[in-house]
Structure formats: structure tokens, C-alpha cells
Structure 1
Amino acid sequence: MRQIRITKIFSFETGHALYGYDGKCRNVHGHSYKLSVTVIGTPISDNDNVKFGMVIDFGDLKKIVKEEIVDVFDHATVFNKNTPHVELAKELSDRGHSVLLVDYQPTSEMMVIDFSEKIKKRLPKNIMLHSLRLQETDSSYAEWFAGDN
């Protein structure tokens, strides 16, 4: 049977700041992100399987992405933990805000790399992550493709 790609799209709101950046994005600000997750695999051919004809149940893919990405990043503020932003992060956290400290500059490019690793670890062995698209604004996005990595 042939390989088929399926895609599910997720939305979440996240704030961030880019330490050391020479433009407006050095300030804390937020985006309404859209994450498109595309996986590839062979549809289940066993007539007795309740998921017959599916590459992966969209609900199963949703569970993985919600647990690993959406539930973690939604309405959180992300800072690179290796910058002075950790002081601001501590202040926000002490005041009850959701703060994530990551090992990278929280650009769309670096976030999509992080997301790819988290999602790949959770997919069934017969399903491969094909690509991710993280849309930051209506006209700007970063893409990750398995074939490039």
C-alpha cells in the first residue's frame, strides 16, 4: 500500500522576547501561532482493526501534540534560560504567570526544531513526522521537513 500524508492544524497563544535582538522583538510580545503537523505512513489494512484505513487517528495525533506542545506553550511566555531574561521570568512566575525557560532563542525557527523532537518521540514506530509549519503571523512562518534533517 502507498504512503499517505495527513495533517492536523493546532492554534495557541504564546508570548516571548528575543534577548539581544536589534528590533522590536526584543520586547515581550505575543503571537497567535498556528502549527501544522504532517505525518506520513501506510493506512492500516487490517479489516478487523477499528482504525482500518487510517494512517493514524486524528484524535491520537491531537493527543500527542496537545500534551507536548499546545498545553505547554498556550498562554505561556517563553524565554531563553541562558539570558538575563531569567530575572524577568522569575518575577512573572512569582506573580503566577506561566513561564517557560528553554535552551534556545525562542524564535519560530528554534521552536519548530524543539517541537519536531518532542513529537517524533511520541509517534508510533510505523508513523514518521514528515513536516511542521509554525505560523507566527499571517505572512510569516518557519518550516521543518524530515527530508532536510
Structure 2
Amino acid sequence: MATIRITKQFSFEAGHALFGYDGKCKNVHGHSYKLGVTVQGEPIKDEDNVKLGMVIDFGDLKKIVKQEIVDKFDHATVFNKNTPHVELAEELQKRGHNIILVEYQPTSENMIQDFAERIMSRLPEHIKLFSLKLQETETSYAEWYASDNL
């Protein structure tokens, strides 16, 4: 039996601000994020299964990631709910803005960990999340590997 990895890429636009940071990212700003999701498993061997030869249907993986990440974070602004940014978040929500309040500083490093947990909770039991790559800019990204997080 061969273990195969497959990857699907996603993109979304989101804003954030890093409270207490000593650089420009303390200001509310946005990114065109790119998210690469790699899962692993064995291709289906059952010849009666319509998904014969697939580890997971790319459409099924897309549905999970869209529901858990893209549909929630696209065109949203992410703030740490434990900072004074919560006041700005409340005002923006009153004006109809899509705001996500999280328990962490919304860096790429923390967001990718959050995304890993969300995706893993939805994958079929026989499929494992192998890695994620969250690209914030053309030259900057964070990576998450299951093997580093056992």
C-alpha cells in the first residue's frame, strides 16, 4: 500500500493588526493570503467506489477548507480579543464589518496553528493532515507539519 500526499491551494483576503507590536503591523492592514493544504493517505482500492484511486476527492477537501477557513476569513479582519482592539472590533461590527475575534495574536504562525486544528477536526479518519503553508506576502510564509506537532 502506497501512502500518497495531495495538495490543494486556496486564497483569501484578510486584515489584521498586531497589538503591542513594535513595527508597522501594529496598524490595521491586510494581506492576500495563500494557503496550501497537504493531506496524506492511501488511494481507495475498492473498484466499486466512485472515488477509486483517490486519497480524497479534491472537491471534498475544498469543501472542508472553504467552510472552516476561506468562507470565514475571506474579507474579514482578525483581532486578538484580549487586547484593546476589541473596542475597534465592536465598532466595526456595528457598522457591518466581518470581524473575527481570536484568543491569540493574529500572526501567520498562530493563524496556521488554528487552521490546522480546524481542518484536522473535519478530515475523514483515514486521511491525515500532513502540512500547511500560509503565505502572507510574496516573500513571507509560515509552515506547519504534523510530524513537528505530535
User: TM-score range with shorter-chain normalisation?
Assistant: over 0.9
Give 1:51-130 correspondences, 5 Å limit: 51-130=51-130
Counterpart AA for 1:68:
E
1:48 matched to 2:48: yes
Q: Which residue of 1 aligns with 2:24?
A: 24
- For 1:17 and 1:3, the matched residues in 2 are separated by 40
Deviation at 1:85? 0.2
Deviation at 1:146? 0.2
Q: SS of 2:112's equivalent?
A: helix
Counterpart AA for 1:146:
A
TM-score w.r.t. the length of structure 1 is: 1.00
Instruction: Give the fraction of aligned pairs with identical amino acids, expressed as a percent.
Output: 75
Q: SS of 1:122's equivalent?
A: coil
Gaps of 5+ in 2: none
- For 2:73 and 2:124, the matched residues in 1 are separated by 23
- For 1:65 and 1:106, the matched residues in 2 are separated by 19
Q: Deviations over 1:66-114 (max 9, x none)?
A: 0000000000000000000000000100000000000000000000000
RMSD: 0.2
TM-score w.r.t. the length of structure 2 is: 0.99
Deviation at 1:8? 0.1
- For 2:65 and 2:38, the matched residues in 1 are separated by 11
Counterpart AA for 1:26:
K
Q: Which residue of 2 aligns with 1:36?
A: 36
- For 2:101 and 2:123, the matched residues in 1 are separated by 25
Deviation at 1:139? 0.3
Gaps of 5+ in 1: none
